[in-house]
Structure 1
Amino acid sequence: MRDIVKGEDAQIRAVGQVINHVAPDILLLTDIDFDAGLSAVAAFSDTLAQPYPHLYAALPNAGQQLGLDLNGDGYTGDARDALGYGRFLGDGGMAVLSRYPIMREDVVDLSGILWRDVLGSILPEVDGAPFPNTAIFDDLPVSSTGHWMVPIDIDGTRMTLLAFDATPPVFDGAEDFNGLRNRDEARLWQAVLEGHFGPAPTYPVLIGNANADPFDGEGFHDAITALLTHPALQTTNPRSAGAAEAATAAHAGPPELDTADWPEDGPGNLRVSYVLPAADLHVVDQGVFWPAPSDPLAALLDETGPHRIVWVDVALPQ
């Protein structure tokens, strides 16, 4: 809130300029800190060329402490012991900003669903024993940040965002705690689409940072591939000239589809963020804001961080 109000933070300013350029009607922000009055997201919205009249956010799992020792180091209370990595309550949440009314009373927050209850879940083990222990999974949700079903009223038609921000499948040990959790965060949406947590939503649009690439990088590729090919959704292929020119040589996936620009001596560039509309919506246009280096707009990316905004234009059947 302090940095937004002061207006001097280079990253906040750059992110706002990118949003102004893309001008989405509905926007999901990830890794934005949560406050109960939504003061920070409202203040950020007010810095944009066209502020968003409808906002939604809920307390993320990130930063919530339950006195658990999630990383098995014998201590509790640090960032890795929260329900999702977080240094304080509300650290790194999500927010939906919309020009269309958000049906707040109908939002379904699935962030409390236990990891062990996800269909097909695989829990981490060391030497055949649950890691760090069996009792942890009596309380640990699969969501590291949140899984929200957010219905939006599009001129009388209900469209439902399936919004999430998954844990990176790294920063763990041989038990692959984060890798397995990342896979099951995607699997939760597969279960929702197949009616395992109530009726399947109307006109679902999967949106968020899955932190998973179908071809490259750490973690499992099967869960995000299952969502990309799910019959309830349609595969989109938003691309950019900037990603195509910044291809990571050793990677197998199409470089033009990448959405994050990480160092070559690290993960390299990956496709981790997605907008996957319902199969019965018509995709009009799509892209990733990642201009080629020769494009003057590329200067906007100097301060935004590694992630690029993914956008998809859709038309309702009627």
Structure 2
Amino acid sequence: MIRALILLLLPFAAQAEVVRIASYNTELSRKGPGLLLRDIRRDDPQVQAVVDVLVATQPDIVALQGIDWDMDSLAMIALSEKLRLAGLNYPHRFSAQPNSGMETGLDLDGDGRTQGPGDAQGWGQFTGQGGLAVLSRYKIHRSDIRDYSTLIWRDLPGAELPTANDDPYPSEQAQEIQRLSSTAHWVVPVATPIGRLNLMTFHASPPVFDGLEDRNGLRNRDEIRFWSLLLDGDLGPSPKGQFVIAADANQDPNQGEGHKDAIRGLLADPRLQDPQPKDSTGDTTTVQWKAVGDLRVDYVLPSADLRIQNAGVFWPDQDAALRDSAQRASRHRLVWVDVSVP
């Protein structure tokens, strides 16, 4: 009788649970390998500011961008320990080698030289610069993680690759090995109190710093389009169940450079929902770039079968105690969404 009652109440218990998912471009990237680990250990002010922001917002699952990767995940582990000592425990973590800084030996950026940061699979001065990481309170199903980072750009259905004078840019040889992901595309399943969630994350190339060939702009467009194609089943079996896209798309739907059709199409996809998180003033800005202005480029987009309980952009008022930490941490702002099951 008691067991039957417990089983009866389980669905209601799940409905009472709320999971907070966040995306945060921490800009925890340094000019050389090992320097981020050094700064974490020496209590660097920017690192501490990132910790302050995460502790203040308390995400249950957070997708981090702009964090340097190393072979043994020492920087990610050190950051997690720093967070634990501050009262925010993430026993489950995932990171893998990103495309950023991965050498190719070819001229990929068309400058006539090789071995430069633009000649890596994704821009980077060293292997792993500006990678991704997922931190979670809940168990990550590591054996079920899907890493699409090796997908060759030209193999993406509908891909539009750059040309110059009707020739492949910068060369046919370069396009044969050029991967789509400038950083990575991951699907990370997490066992949460409301059921299994597929966390989908990426960090797209900025659609600038190129010429008439529009290499970065076209790549940004296709990095964003990837998710709709994945959900369509055009890249193999589509992920099953509830999901949340938490990422830096490097694209605003209305302002700045780039192909707006990709991000607008993703935001309008009926399989997901856009809560349009705002700060305390009602602003949806997620990044401030001096040369460009205020843009919305960071997103947390739950699947349509989840219930959105709340959402926000962490940007305290000017006179608030944590405003200084938010400004020191990153030009980007942490975006969060609380979800539950209907």
Q: TM-score, normalised by structure 2?
A: 0.86
Distance in 2, Cα, partners of 1:158 & 1:171: 39
| 1:261 aligned partner | 288
User: After the TM superposition, which residues 1-318 of structure 1 pair with which residues of structure 2 at under 5 Å, given as runs?
Assistant: 1-7=37-43, 9-48=44-83, 49-155=87-193, 157-201=195-239, 202-241=241-280, 256-263=283-290, 266-317=291-342
Is the Cα contact below 8 Å between 1:288 and 1:308 reproduced in 2? Answer: yes
Following superposition, the deviation at residue 57 of structure 1 comes to 0.3
Is the Cα contact below 8 Å between 1:118 and 1:187 reproduced in 2? Answer: no
SS of corresponding position for 1:226: helix
Cα offsets for 1:117-147 (capped at 9, x unmatched): 1122111111211110112111111100000
Distance in 1, Cα, partners of 2:98 & 2:109: 19
Q: TM-score, normalised by structure 1?
A: 0.92
Number of aligned residues: 302
Cα offsets for 1:268-307 (capped at 9, x unmatched): 0000000000100000000000122133331222311210
Cα offsets for 1:159-205 (capped at 9, x unmatched): 10111001111111111110110010001111001111223222121
Is the Cα contact below 8 Å between 1:260 and 1:271 reproduced in 2? Answer: yes
Query: More deviation in 98-107 or 111-120?
Result: 111-120
Following superposition, the deviation at residue 91 of structure 1 comes to 0.9
Task: Tell me which of the two structures has the higher relative contact order, counting C-alpha pairs closer than 8 angstroms and 6 or more residues apart.
Answer: 2
Q: Flag structure 1 segments of 5+ consecutive residues without an equivalent.
A: 245-255
Structure number with greater Rg is 2
Distance 1:302 1:155, change over 3 A: closer
Distance in 2, Cα, partners of 1:239 & 1:72: 40
Distance 1:156 1:17, change over 3 A: closer
Q: Flag structure 2 segments of 5+ consecutive residues without an equivalent.
A: 1-36
Query: More deviation in 278-287 or 127-136?
Result: 127-136
SS of corresponding position for 1:296: coil
Letter of the 1:56 partner, please give it. F
Letter of the 1:30 partner, please give it. Q
Is the Cα contact below 8 Å between 2:159 and 2:222 reproduced in 1? Answer: yes
Is the Cα contact below 8 Å between 1:259 and 1:288 reproduced in 2? Answer: yes
Distance in 2, Cα, partners of 1:123 & 1:68: 17
SS of corresponding position for 1:303: helix
| 1:247 aligned partner | none
Is the Cα contact below 8 Å between 1:57 and 1:95 reproduced in 2? Answer: yes
SS of corresponding position for 2:64: strand
CA RMSD of aligned residues (A): 1.2
Percent of residue pairs bearing the same amino acid type: 46
Is the Cα contact below 8 Å between 1:119 and 1:187 reproduced in 2? Answer: no
Displacement over 4 Å in runs of 4+: none
